[in-house]
Structure 1
């Protein structure tokens, strides 16, 4: 008979065996559940999606660049290879937001597009992807897709990436696929609103500001509608995608682009790899509303005829840059003029003579500034605090956009260059509200110019031309009309060095300084050049005064037109030197359209008239003799009695 000790041992062993069996069964169930979950998470044929969003995008993008960037992709794609690279079984990441997950589950992703600045200009897309191997955007069409203000050709949309018109090197294409194709493509999603554009010659200041910076700022304001980030003096909550292989510019230039976004700027090299990059909301292109000059790719250069730009566009960008860039302050309160120097070409040979002439004649200090000795931020600071600038035609003159109203620009041109044919800075100065004074000077004496026919062709050299063509250019007195940008006559003459006539420049300076004083005085008293509001509540009648003693006839009576009206309400809040009214009078006694104009210094007016029946009256207010308001509605005047 077993002992109690043995019985206890046997019971314990039985209990342990039972527990082990139960544990093994539980583990088997757990493994089944894991397999089931994996099948739910990874159904074959769905798209692999990685969501980029908010703060995590910076780190994840950099990791992806380290692993996927740097590979050169052939432009001739093998169709099967591309297809296999982009097809992968689904792996839903844990950080996909609810909206994104709904989209995936219901397979309802499709593209739409709205263009806001004319056909195919500044276009907003929803749900399009960038294929880095084909270097194209692709949209996914569905019967619910919206296409507004868009022109398609052969199923594709060609878009301008820049504000520059008529330049086919600044375009991109958006091709089309059916929305169902997205389910078989490996993608990663970018959640931030993104703006895609391509800088146009950012190494040239004129192009950088005119074609990139001012249009970029205006476009960002349009697509964010002046949201809280700008109101709080923060950069825009929009990611910038530079549509170039890389954004390879100097840090001094790059900072002018970086200040507009709170995200790190991306370029094509940041979107390498085997997956497409898809964007929830993306804008392609820059607005042309702020540009004022056509560089002459299709016809000789000149001001844009239908330009929409106003001084407020430029001044808004200037204010933004001053708030966000470390532009140094100028502590010296002494008045001075800026003379931009050129050290390599297009030089003012007698620059020191000109400097001393100005100092001796006007007692005004001259700051001789150049790229070699000053940073761009320093050049901006000195320019913005000066009385005006003098310079040979060149991109540095775009810094005159930082000048205050009442300042001047004196632009100098080498021999044979007609200033009326090259007017980017004159046009800038004459934009309504800029308040800048512009003068141009051209060297008229050939002997005061030094050409460089032995230089490279792109710098004005002529040795690549046949002898007869060289001789023609060397004997020209004016550069003929031409297209941009490699006309040999233009390049030869614009790169000449010049001995300027100091007396001529001194005379021009005297003119602009006098005009500057008059302009500043007018600006101080003009209420910011605001016009009066419309005249309202006009009333009038025709009365008679008896000159004959007869009471029963109007034939010998003098007819008087009496008119009164309300003073325009906006004038109560404006500063001005004078206010008068123009009264336009038209008799309806005949079929004649003839009108008469009268002037009144107050809002009541009486005058004798030959109108015996009815007449019409219109009235408008005029401030400081030239700021006119809108005419009132036509008011019918009738006699008191017949």
Structure 2
């Protein structure tokens, strides 16, 4: 349903409300009012009493914006600019219409055929400020009514129905009234004001006093009565309208902020509930990880000020901050926003404010989606897109169940979308948000639930910020996790992976499969060119007896490239970011990486490290141009593309004479850039020689099956027995049962490792055994205590845990 503007609705309501009230008021007086007096007549009829502050001029009567007793004298000037002053000292106690009638009778007022009906109108916050101890006893001061003074924020709506004198002969038309602030009385039209013993004195409540005077036989001005009634009604209406306008303004602002929130997300949000939660509960944070380099934090109601470009944590009595680091949060940061470890451009922190400060800040726009807030490290480079952003984000989302396909990614590094933004879109069904876009939605953006930071468990390479680049120490990822990610991304791109040939296919089918094999060559058209690419393609086709397919990031879509690579047997490419696509190769495929002159393949290994991850099951070969005459350099290019013309002459000559780029730190080493942006003429005979040599080490079998990574459990029931042969000779027998999980596994080789250590010594003797028991006699001393550990090993490399230590005394 299309929402209606709140302000428009209130304006319409106010107009309808006013018109209906005026019509009803005129109808009420149909039986009383014979004509509406002119302005001059009305002015003549008005008499000044003790409590009157201003003379009423009635072209346009000024009325209050808000009807509060304390503000009654503060009038809005209208018409001729003369203000209408209303007495703020009104009657405090109120009576129903029946009670009024009863008091009038008891006050010895002449009975009327029809009594006054006082209507208390709740919709207008209207009350009847009347109290009568006694009615009017006579004219010339024979008695006077007693009125209590009070304050009231309302007006009277009085309905008259054919009120007559005592004998019921003629309608009684009030012709004049006086106002004051103590008591009230009325006089006959023929009686001069000075002769009236008790005067009518009231402010907004003057209408009720007029009715009492009418029942006593006083004639008052119909025009004055009508004017007083209309002023009261309009004042109440405008007071109500003012309140509605204030409420409407608040609703309209909330509606606007809700629309802003819904522009960010299609998820429904109750803006008032979200705002109240932020104000009352503040921000809450719980993190995992001990250090900023391995920490990911979950937040409720984390906010971002787009003007200050700062995240804000609002404190309330319900706020939670774990870990509560105090100033240690700035040493150097709470966490890394990127998967690149401890980079000073990737730190995350927040400012702190009390939740009460929200009253003085712009209204927040809420993001109702569960969000993952991170930095992309280098979204222009395909290698960085996968290694630093996509794979870590994919597994961070796997780590937290509410970061599902409906979650939204928010990139805070400040880059534009970049050439590979469609790949980021594959992680979620919702459009990722950029830092610059947040500024368009509001000055204060609050994320109802967010996760900040990325898991670093899937990264395998460090880029040389602290030490020269190379594989990460203590890698935590295997090829299995990389392949699961590749499969999930291919499904998002609607690509079906070519499955491995079933092991029971016959030779005829194998031959057919061989005809379907092909080699893929990555072609580059801007920098780091293969100058004789066509000759290389022909040589590959002849060597492998396969068709050769070329792909190019400049000319083809990435999903189209993945579709081709996912079925290739060999991938050949010059060193570059495009080689990250090798993660889509099938198991058993070969990666061939080419390097320009003077660039050592052993020093730049992101793709070798990927290919050789356990469970990746790829074969890797590198080739390096060793002939300087087969290279073309570009010293006059900009420095970021390898130019060296800006350097001192001596430095240029040194770089040109070098035949091997020395190890260096990232990221502006001029010699590295000069050499890596060379174009290369591939020496085909030398290339084929290296290729053939590398293929000799490829595991046998046309297609590899996933290598087993199942580790053995602990050996069971380990025990030892000892015996002393002579004073210098003893024996130690150790036995155990196989690990529990071994009986469910098909393992090629099972062996056991036994460590024996003499108590009190720092060294031990290791033994590798094929059986489950063994008697040791060498170096075993009588009357000595030995510590013994036993564990199982699968296939020479899969080590199980040690069983509990045995203490054996000979």
1:131-150 aligned within 5 A: 131-142=305-316, 145-149=319-323
Distance 1:521 1:574, change over 3 A: farther
Contact 1:205-1:395 within 8 A present in 2 as well = yes
> What does residue 108 of structure 1 align with?
280
**Residues 1:224 and 2:392 are matched in the alignment:** no
> What does residue 292 of structure 2 align with?
119
1:370 to 539, 549, 552: 552
1:210 to 365, 379, 387: 387
State the SS of the aligned residue for 1:516: coil
**Residues 1:269 and 2:437 are matched in the alignment:** yes
> What does residue 366 of structure 2 align with?
189
1:463 to 639, 642, 645: 645
2:408 to 239, 252, 260: 239
Unaligned runs of 5+ in 2: 1-28, 35-113, 127-235, 500-511
State the SS of the aligned residue for 1:397: helix
**Worse overlay, 108-117 or 181-190:** 108-117
Distance 1:464 1:36, change over 3 A: closer
1:70-85 aligned within 5 A: none
Contact 1:114-1:150 within 8 A present in 2 as well = no
1:85-104 aligned within 5 A: 95-96=270-271, 100=274, 103=277
1:530 to 698, 704, 710: 710
Distance 1:123 1:556, change over 3 A: closer
Contact 1:347-1:498 within 8 A present in 2 as well = yes
Distance 2:343 2:739 in 1: 49
1:490 to 672, 693, 698: 672
Distance 1:183 1:407, change over 3 A: same
State the SS of the aligned residue for 2:301: strand
Contact 1:50-1:187 within 8 A present in 2 as well = no
> What does residue 502 of structure 1 align with?
684
Q: Could you report, residue by residue, the CA deviation over 1:465-490 in whole angstroms, capped at 9, with x for unpaired residues?
A: 34333222222212233333333222
Distance 1:325 1:273 in 2: 31
Q: 1:532 Cα shift?
A: 1.3
Contact 2:498-2:586 within 8 A present in 1 as well = no
Distance 1:581 1:244, change over 3 A: closer
Distance 2:693 2:260 in 1: 57
Distance 1:465 1:167, change over 3 A: same
1:267-416 aligned within 5 A: 267=434, 268-272=436-440, 275-305=443-473, 307-327=475-495, 334-416=516-598
Distance 2:571 2:587 in 1: 13
Distance 2:345 2:807 in 1: 61
> What does residue 600 of structure 1 align with?
770
Q: 1:205 Cα shift?
A: 0.7
Output the aligned Cα RMSD: 4.3
Q: Could you report, residue by residue, the CA deviation over 1:621-642 in whole angstroms, capped at 9, with x for unpaired residues?
A: 2323443322322334567xxx
Distance 1:95 1:594, change over 3 A: closer
Distance 1:270 1:363, change over 3 A: same
Q: 1:447 Cα shift?
A: 0.8
> What does residue 625 of structure 2 align with?
443
Q: 1:384 Cα shift?
A: 2.4
Q: Could you report, residue by residue, the CA deviation over 1:15-48 in whole angstroms, capped at 9, with x for unpaired residues?
A: 9999xx999957645977956974995899x996
Query: TM-score, normalization: structure 2?
Result: 0.61
Q: Could you report, residue by residue, the CA deviation over 1:243-273 in whole angstroms, capped at 9, with x for unpaired residues?
A: 26674334xx222111222322222324425
Distance 1:320 1:503 in 2: 40
1:428 to 610, 620, 645: 610
- Point out which structure has higher relative CO (alpha carbons under 8 A, 6+ apart): 1
> What does residue 177 of structure 1 align with?
353
1:46-61 aligned within 5 A: 59-61=262-264
Distance 1:511 1:152, change over 3 A: farther
Distance 2:352 2:385 in 1: 33
Aligned length: 570
State the SS of the aligned residue for 2:698: helix
State the SS of the aligned residue for 1:134: coil
State the SS of the aligned residue for 2:697: helix
Q: 1:300 Cα shift?
A: 3.3
Q: 1:422 Cα shift?
A: 1.6
Q: 1:383 Cα shift?
A: 2.0
Distance 1:606 1:116, change over 3 A: closer
Q: 1:294 Cα shift?
A: 2.4
Distance 1:94 1:24 in 2: 40
> What does residue 599 of structure 2 align with?
417
Q: Could you report, residue by residue, the CA deviation over 1:293-318 in whole angstroms, capped at 9, with x for unpaired residues?
A: 22234443333335444434423322
Distance 1:465 1:594, change over 3 A: closer
**Residues 1:260 and 2:427 are matched in the alignment:** yes
Distance 1:196 1:47, change over 3 A: farther
Distance 1:314 1:600 in 2: 35
Distance 2:624 2:311 in 1: 49
Distance 1:275 1:473, change over 3 A: closer
Distance 1:34 1:282, change over 3 A: farther
Distance 1:612 1:369 in 2: 73
2:790 to 600, 619, 630: 619
Distance 1:339 1:149, change over 3 A: farther
> What does residue 3 of structure 1 align with?
none
Contact 1:391-1:412 within 8 A present in 2 as well = yes
Distance 2:650 2:797 in 1: 56
